[in-house]
Copies of this chain bind each other. A is one copy, B any other.
Amino acid sequence: MQLGMIGLGRMGGNMAKRIAEAGIEVVGYDRSPASDRTVDSLEALVRALDAPRIVWVMVPAGEATDVTVNALAELLEPGDMVIDGGNSRYTDDARHAAQLEGKGIRFMDCGVSGGVWGIDRGYALMAGGSKEDFATTRPVFEALKPEGDSGLVLAGPVGGGHFAKMVHNGIEYGMMQAFGEGFATMVRSELVEDPAAVMSSWRDGSVVQSWLLDLLAIAFRTDPTLESMPPVANESGEAKWMIEAALELGVPTPATAAALYSRQTSRGGADDILRVVSTMRAQFGGHVTKVDEIATH
């Protein structure tokens, strides 16, 4: 079996290695010459694979994925298969599928979780597409997934894989926020001497036992107060998309929203809100927020 892998960054590169170790021949391409690529163009990648081809796209969501799908629509042949394994918004999938279907090319989407640990631990995979296509491509998924019964699911038709991954990441946001709220509360209390030690102790026997907690415990070993980390967090899109999808479906997601809002606030998103609040306070009460007043609070 052969697989074309487009995108050999932190995720794609590791995944290519894991697939190759399972005995599948991987032809890799990345636009960066510095990468570990097998071929130096998409054309060469297509030529290097026997039809019917399976090409896994692992490039940034949005424009880069659009550009890649556009190119593959021209280069591939009827019966070939494109799998978008990047973090595309689920709403992109139907569009990509329709575009490729016009050329007789099949399409699947696949959400991939696991981060830098996946190469050893395996990747949790959520696929979207037909049962037939899933059966055809299954060896690739089996190569990537972790050992054990879990870690791979056909979530639904095209779009279902990215929808499931989006929800997975939304849950991840909520879990991380929950751990953060607990840590921050303990940090300010005089009753808990070493919040990092307390949280690390929960790794066995507790209800909050989880892989995220394991990771946090690793970080605590070198920085138990986390003071080396700036109090700012970025966001990658999925939680935002999940909140929007849920809004349209009539499902309230307040914890997920709280997690995203916390990150947006850390990047200045609430600044104008606070200006309004302090302006009103200054008007009605003679309350003034001064920088030195703040400093000495």
- What residues of chain A have their CB less than 8 Å away from a CB belonging to chain B? 10, 90, 113-118, 121-126, 128, 145-157, 159-160, 163-164, 167-194, 197-198, 200-213, 215-219, 223, 226-227, 229-234, 236, 240, 242-287, 289, 291, 293-294, 297
When A208-B168, A285-B115, A287-B234 are in contact, do A263 and B276 touch as well, CB less than 8 Å?
A: no
Tell me, rounded to whole Å, the shortest Cβ–Cβ distance linking A42 to chain B.
26
Q: Which of B173, B182, B269 contacts A168 (CB 8 A)?
A: B182
Complex: how many Å from CA A236 to CA B198? 21
Task: Check B270–A153 contact: CB distance below 8 A.
Answer: no
Q: How many copies does the complex hold?
A: 4
Q: Please give 16 more A-B residue pairs, beta carbons under 8 A apart, in addition to A149-B204, A230-B289, A266-B274.
A: A113-B202, A148-B204, A153-B198, A155-B193, A160-B193, A170-B182, A176-B280, A177-B254, A181-B251, A184-B246, A209-B210, A218-B283, A219-B279, A240-B247, A252-B269, A259-B277
Q: Check A187/B272 contact, CB under 8 A, given A175-B175, A192-B164, A206-B113.
A: yes
Q: Given the interface contacts A150-B205, A273-B184, A277-B262, does A210 sit within 8 Å of B285 by beta carbon?
A: no
A217 to B227, CA, bound (A): 37
Chain B nearest CB from A259 CB (Å) reads 6
Task: Give the residue of B203, B227, B268 whose beta carbon is less than 8 angstroms from that of A150.
Answer: B203
Contact between chains at A155 and B198 (CB < 8 Å):
yes
Can you show 20 pairs from A to B with CB atoms below 8 A apart?
A116-B284, A122-B205, A151-B204, A153-B198, A155-B193, A155-B194, A178-B259, A181-B253, A182-B242, A188-B250, A210-B212, A229-B289, A230-B278, A233-B274, A233-B278, A234-B278, A240-B247, A252-B260, A254-B262, A255-B255
**Pick from B191, B256, B283, B293: contact of A160, CB under 8 Å:** B191
Establish whether residues B267 and A250, one from each chain, have CB atoms under 8 Å apart when the complex forms: yes
Contact B287 A270 (CB under 8 A): no
Interface centre among A90, A117, A252, A284, by most B CB within 10 Å?
A252
Within 8 Å CB of A254, what residues of B? 177, 181, 254-255, 257-258, 261-262
**Is A114 a contact partner of B231 (Cβ separation < 8 A)?**
no
Contacts of A192 in B (CB 8 A): 155-156, 160, 163-164, 167
When C-beta atoms are compared, the residue in chain B nearest to A286 turns out to be B116
Of the residues B163, B183, B261, contact of A276 by C-beta under 8 Å: B183
B contact residues around A114 at 8 Å (CB): 205-207
